[in-house]
Chain A
Amino acid sequence: MQDINNIVNGKDLFKKPEYQKVLADKKEFEGGYGAVNPAKTAEIAEWTRGWDYREKNLAREAITINPAKACQPLGAVMVALGFENTMPYVHGSHGCVAYFRSYFTRHFKEPTPCVSDSMTEDAAVFGGLVNMKDGLKNCAAVYKPEMIAVSTTCMAEVIGDDLYAFATAAKEEDGGEFLAEDFPITYAHTPSFTGSHITGYDNMMHGIMSQLTEGNKKEEKNGKINIIPGFETYIGSIRSVKAIVEAFGAEYTMLGDHSDQWDMPAGEYSMFAGGTPIADAKDCINAKATISLQKYATIKTMKMAKKWKHAGGTSNPIGLKGTDEFVMKLAELTGKEVPQKLKTERGRLVDAMQDSYPYMHGKKFAIWGDPDFLVGMVSFLVEMGAEPTHVLCNNPVRGWEDEIRAILDTSPASADCHIWAGKDLWHMRSLLFTQPVDFMIGNSYGKELMRDTNIPLIYIGFPIFDRHHLHRYSISGYDGALNLLTWITNKVLDQLDEDTKGIASTDYFFDLIR
């Protein structure tokens, strides 16, 4: 029973003897092996840690277990929320939208506006035109967005709804009451059964950029640089990148800037905050350059930029080398010297790397995440002399594996570093048991791996549901690299203390100064 002076929740309540008895007695009725034949559970648990299991596990062809990827419309919703007063609108069932909103909200601890047109069985049979007509009208009337960005669920894709025709029909029927003729309804097809959330990001960004710029191409370029952040889940990273561009005094447009949307101050709530002004987005075709910070999340979009004859290309500003390349790209595009501010920042980062290197050097890491995240992170690990033993990407894009291999080849440990393209986190479990590492770097899904293998997890990635505020920091630019260095080094030091705190046994190495 609860002690009134020390009311405890489930963490300690169920440790009380009366509850331990409840849980033990319940086993009498259970039909699981843990209750009926615990020895068998132990035997199989042991088997799952071995090479035989690993081989069977890696031979899987059909079932995905504990994936490290999500589906297209999630990325499309992120894009939409990066434009000013823009409502993400998902054509399909509202269940999907409930999921996208929960998923982002659990990561950012911020509201995530998004609507759907609530298609049901009849729409699946007759098409979703009626839903779209009503949905666009209601959305415009109630939330008064400046733009609606429509993406699709797999249901709408399977039945083959035509978004352009539907949006046009919706405007016609509305007759300008809520949806003016020039009201921007941008759209992208985002089938969940192709690619992953980064593909959806690419499709929606391509859709918005191509549709908003229709008829807006001018003879003269406007001298600006477009920056596309990609599926960026670190709010601070967007700010770091802006600070770098601003240090050059360059005129730029951040296309899809959700940094204010998912970082609203307390005090009052407004549905939308910040974002790329629609007018700037309409003009992005006239920029002199477009730089994408995530190559694999913007393949289609960057093809378009190339067709627009924009200079720039892709640049991944995670880690020292990545940031250097981004900075030099800006120097080239602006024709300016690298500003002193950035030189100083770089110097401080390198200083910090030289202070901490003994703790990361030679440490073995397992890491997973999106392809661009991994390019930056693996590069940083190698810069520090760490060994990325297992690099796993569940949603690889063509070319990614070669790029990672080239980075690994700059490490003396290259031969012991493995790339796992298209594999999931249940594969990772086998890899960790059979070829262990010192640390893991990844998202909250690594938590169960941490429990099962005892390998410490450093929370860097997306989604992070069970650690707070990390997404507010930067992992890009020199300041972002310093954050990475701080998080990783201090986790290594925490673990060192953990491993040496045995009283009168190992605590000679429990040093005060490290």
Chain B
Amino acid sequence: MGPESLEARQKAAIEEVLKAYPEKAAKNRAKHLGVGGPEDESQKTCGNVRSNKKTVPGVMSQRGCAYAGSKGVVWGPVKDMVHISHGPVGCGQYSRAGRRNYYIGTTGVDTFVTMNFTSDFQEKDIVFGGDKKLDKCLHEIDELFPLNNGITVQSECPIGLIGDDINATSKMYAKKTGHVIVPVNCEGFRGVSQSLGHHIANDTVRDYVFDGKVDTLGEEIAVTDYDVAIIGDYNIGGDAWSSRILLEEMGLRVVAQWSGDATLKEMVATTKVKLNLLHCYRSMNYISRHMEKEYGIPWVEYNFFGPSQTVKSLRKIAAFFDESIQAKCEEVIAKYQPMVDAVTEKFRPRLEGKQVMLFVGGLRPRHVIGAYEDLGMEVIGTGYEFAHDDDYKRTKDEIFRSTVIYDDVNEYELEAFVKKLQPDLVASGIKEKYVFQKMGLPYRQMHSWDYSGPYHGYDGFAIFAADMDLAINSPVWAHTKAPWDKVGEA
């Protein structure tokens, strides 16, 4: 099937999808849907789609909230700090240990990532305010968890509505005890998605970690010329570890991981690195820009999904350093090439030409395209939950053919696009997983790596390839049809 007919099918699918909406909603959604291509003309985005706007009410959006962006994404993985879900009990419970931010540590003693600390607001806290309760929470946490290196206060919706002053309460407590307390005003109703939560959380790192001049345990880290920090890797399934190993092999020293498997001390040390390596641009570009402006640290975006992008990224990173690093970079590339070739040789014949539709958040809707292409697969649709124009602009650089671009796609639209375009694999989140599996479609969760991973780096690519093969070529999909079903009927 030629690219033209693919594009025509894609455009027709969009038109048809829009028909179901009432006028106002159709007008709105039309701006978020488009067909993008490597050569498409939209200057600021991709497929001319609009993004980072309010979600249409009453449709099944896959978006989360600012609290999810701060507690769930940016702050939650910082392992030696306690993160309080401040407000009613639900938010902390639903987001507990769901993101697979791997870490090493003794949970409940010196490490707290998978736990759920909540102030569990009751009606009286809403009516009379919860600042006193928060103060007491801070005391109790310090008493029962003396090895915590700091506490963040992650605001849920009611906090900003009832006029609580978590900033004052936190400041007073910090002053009294000398402990690091970070209040985060990330109430769920702020902004239009998780995105503003990332930004708010980034700002609190600036204000309370960098400007707070916090003392950290152990000896100060001596600075070297090869110090870098991994920014925007949440170590999902160990992603940052399978990235870190490559950087270290090429002679760099990874001083900090943000924020998967991170400690407060690593964050503090980051202001002295030579280069910030930014994986998830969307959630951590803010702090990277700040460090550039304030500390003169350059930052570079990279992509460790799939060997093509990994090779490009390794060279891009090495170019910031001297020839010794560049030489070692080539050694690393050469070292892994046979393994990569073997992986491709093994899996490409089983996956060649298979079409994929993606819908994820952060960086993945564009970053994983290359990994699929390395396996001979084609991405024919992609979109972001909470991207901005600059994400879509970057997407254009990573797509290889006409691609449906859907911003903040809802369940109805994604289902319709899949039915119309018939991909061989859908890769999205848990909420959509079983919808498509019921239809007999292979599916991979691309938020959590479907409880596998890591997918970053060379070792991660081998797992990625094996997992895609597992999904697409499993015998289970053939069982949907019963032997008594007539030919041609599902």
Q: Point out residues on A near B: beta carbons under 8 Å.
A: 1-2, 4, 7-10, 13-14, 18-19, 22-23, 25-26, 28-37, 40-41, 44-45, 48, 53, 56-57, 60-67, 69-71, 73-74, 89, 92-103, 105-106, 109-121, 123-124, 131-132, 134-139, 141-143, 153-155, 158-159, 177-178, 191-194, 196, 264, 266-269, 426, 429, 445, 448, 452
Contact = CB atoms under 8 A, between A and B. Distances in A.
A266 B440 contact: yes
A139 B156 CA distance: 26
Contacts of A116: 57-58, 61
Nearest to B435: A111
A142 B280 CA distance: 33
Interface string B411-433: 11001000000000000011111
Contacts, number: 366
Contact of A70 (B89, B342, B435): B89
A138 B90 contact: no
A62 B343 contact: no
A32 B111 contact: yes
A62 B57 contact: no
Contact of A269 (B66, B84, B438): B438
Nearest to B135: A62
B459 A178 contact: no
A120 B116 contact: no
A231 to B, nearest CB: 14
Contacts of B147: 32-33, 40-41, 44
A10 B102 contact: yes
B350 interface: no
A264 B452 CA distance: 26
Q: Which 3 A-B pairs have the closest CB atoms?
A: A95-B65, A31-B265, A71-B90
Contacts of B244: 22, 26
Contact of A124 (B25, B91, B161, B216): B161
A30 B260 CA distance: 12
B439 A269 contact: yes
B58 A45 contact: no
B25 A155 contact: no
Contacts of B393: none
A138 B189 CA distance: 21
Nearest to A2: B462
B10 interface: no
A134 B27 CA distance: 13
B263 A31 contact: yes
B1 interface: no
B241 A1 contact: no
B98 interface: yes
Contact of A95 (B20, B59, B68): B68
Contacts of A1: 335-336, 339, 458-459
A134 B89 contact: no
A269 B154 CA distance: 38
A29 B217 CA distance: 10
B263 A121 contact: no
Q: How large is the interface on B (under 10, 10 to 19, 20 to 34, 35 or more residues)?
A: 35 or more
A70 B438 contact: no
B188 A95 contact: yes
Given A23-B104, A30-B263, A2 B144 contact: no
B218 A56 contact: no
Interface in B122-159: 122-123, 125-126, 133-134, 136-137, 139-141, 143-144, 146-147, 149, 156-158
Contacts of A114: 60
Contacts of B139: 62
**Best-surrounded residue of B68, B156, B160 (most CB of chain A within 10 A):** B156
Contacts of B327: none
A413 to B, nearest CB: 30
B90 A70 contact: yes
Given A64-B118, A93-B157, A29 B59 contact: no
Given A31-B218, A37-B217, A131 B57 contact: yes
A434 to B, nearest CB: 15
A61 B136 contact: yes
B106 A45 contact: yes
A96 B94 CA distance: 9
B57 to A, nearest CB: 3
Contacts of A196: 89
B188 A71 contact: no
Nearest to A156: B157
A132 B459 CA distance: 49
B255 interface: yes
B188 A93 contact: yes
Contacts of B161: 124, 155, 158-159
A94 B65 contact: yes
Nearest to B127: A193
B56 A134 contact: yes
B68 A98 contact: yes
Interface in B301-337: 335-336
A193 B268 CA distance: 36
B245 interface: yes
A424 to B, nearest CB: 9
Interface in B240-291: 241-242, 244-245, 248, 254-257, 261, 263-266, 268-269
A22 B245 CA distance: 6
Contact of B431 (A105, A153, A191, A194): A105
A32 B149 contact: yes
A194 B110 contact: no
Contacts of B158: 154-155, 158, 193
27 contacts: A1-B458, A10-B453, A10-B463, A13-B463, A31-B217, A44-B147, A48-B109, A61-B140, A64-B117, A65-B116, A69-B89, A93-B189, A94-B61, A97-B60, A98-B65, A98-B431, A100-B94, A115-B59, A118-B192, A120-B54, A120-B190, A121-B191, A142-B20, A143-B412, A193-B88, A269-B415, A429-B108
